[in-house]
């Protein structure tokens, strides 16, 4: 097979994978954490063995969906951080972007972050906590890079940025999880209160010379 034939085959495979992920997403939006491989295969109009051939197991499908949504969330967070506004406004916009994302797709969020409580797991080896932890770590590392690029944190700034990145993600995740479940206040109130908590050290830190600022 020549390179053009291989390229066409790769494009077809990538398109098929996207179609399967879209089918999986429709089932997750409908069923939440209880989404099963059987239901996803039926939605895609294929047999379960074919679905396994593409993703390996439920863990493989989970990772593919997690990457799809994490990539989109990171793009949105970067856009909020780089918006032409004062630093406090960008901090609030970043927090709000995360909360708006989980509010807009609560079933997808629950599928990614919580095990099915009302259904026996299809794959007993699938531990959603084991899979969701790398997702949060990735968010923490990406946010740390943004912080280090934009703020002069002095000696050991890289280490400090990683602590901040993972700490902020942990706070957003824990507070957002509680808020999504109980809805004790408006989203803006949660955003403002979390920004108040973060603001002390962020307010006094200097931007890096020539950098995009934060």
d(CA 102, CA 105): 5
H/E element holding 119?
none
Q: Which domains does the chain have, with CATH numbers?
A: 63-207 (1.10.357.10)
Is 151 in contact with 176 (CB distance < 8 Å)?
no
The whole-number pLDDT of residue 181 equals 92
The whole-number pLDDT of residue 213 equals 58
Is 194 in contact with 187 (CB distance < 8 Å)?
no
The whole-number pLDDT of residue 124 equals 44
Q: What is the pLDDT of residues 81-119, one digit of tens each?
A: 888 888 899 899 999 999 999 999 898 888 888 755 544
Owner of token pair 């209880």: 34
Contacts 24+ apart (CB under 8 A), 195-198: 195/88, 195/91, 195/92, 195/95, 197/171, 198/91, 198/168, 198/171
What is the value of pTM for the model shown?
0.78
206 φ, ψ to 5°? -90, 150
Q: Which parts of the chain sit beneath pLDDT 70?
A: 1-6, 115-131, 201, 204, 209-214
Q: Helices 87-104 & 187-204, crossing angle to 10 degrees? A: 140
Owner of token pair 């972007």: 97
Please name the residues in contact with 128: beta carbons below 8 A apart, sequence gap of 6 or more: 33, 62, 112, 113, 114, 115
C-alpha dihedral sign at 127, 129, 130, 132: positive
The whole-number pLDDT of residue 126 equals 47
H/E element holding 206?
strand 206-207
The whole-number pLDDT of residue 144 equals 92
The whole-number pLDDT of residue 3 equals 62
Alpha helix stretches (DSSP H) within the chain: 3-31, 37-44, 48-55, 58-81, 87-104, 106-113, 128-150, 157-182, 187-204
Is 111 in contact with 65 (CB distance < 8 Å)?
yes
């Amino acid at each position: 097979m020549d390179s053009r034939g291989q390229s066409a085959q790769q494009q077809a495979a990538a398109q098929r994978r996207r179609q399967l992920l879209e089918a999986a997403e429709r089932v997750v939006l409908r069923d939440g954490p209880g989404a099963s491989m059987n239901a996803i295969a039926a939605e895609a109009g294929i047999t379960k063995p074919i679905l396994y051939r593409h993703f390996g197991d439920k863990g493989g499908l989970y990772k593919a969906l997690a990457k799809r949504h994490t990539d989109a969330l990171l793009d949105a967070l970067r856009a909020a951080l780089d918006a032409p506004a004062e630093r406090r406004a960008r901090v609030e916009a970043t927090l709000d972007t995360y909360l708006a994302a989980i509010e807009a797709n609560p079933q997808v969020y629950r599928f990614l972050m919580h095990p099915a409580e009302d259904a026996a797991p299809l794959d007993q080896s699938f531990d959603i906590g084991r899979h969701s932890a790398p997702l949060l770590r990735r968010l923490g590392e990406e946010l740390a890079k943004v912080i280090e690029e934009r703020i002069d944190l002095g000696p050991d700034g890289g280490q400090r940025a990683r602590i901040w990145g993972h700490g902020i993600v942990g706070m957003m995740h824990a507070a957002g999880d509680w808020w999504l479940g109980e809805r004790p206040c408006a989203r803006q109130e949660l955003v403002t209160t979390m920004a108040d908590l973060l603001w002390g050290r962020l307010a006094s830190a200097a931007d890096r010379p020539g950098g995009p600022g934060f």
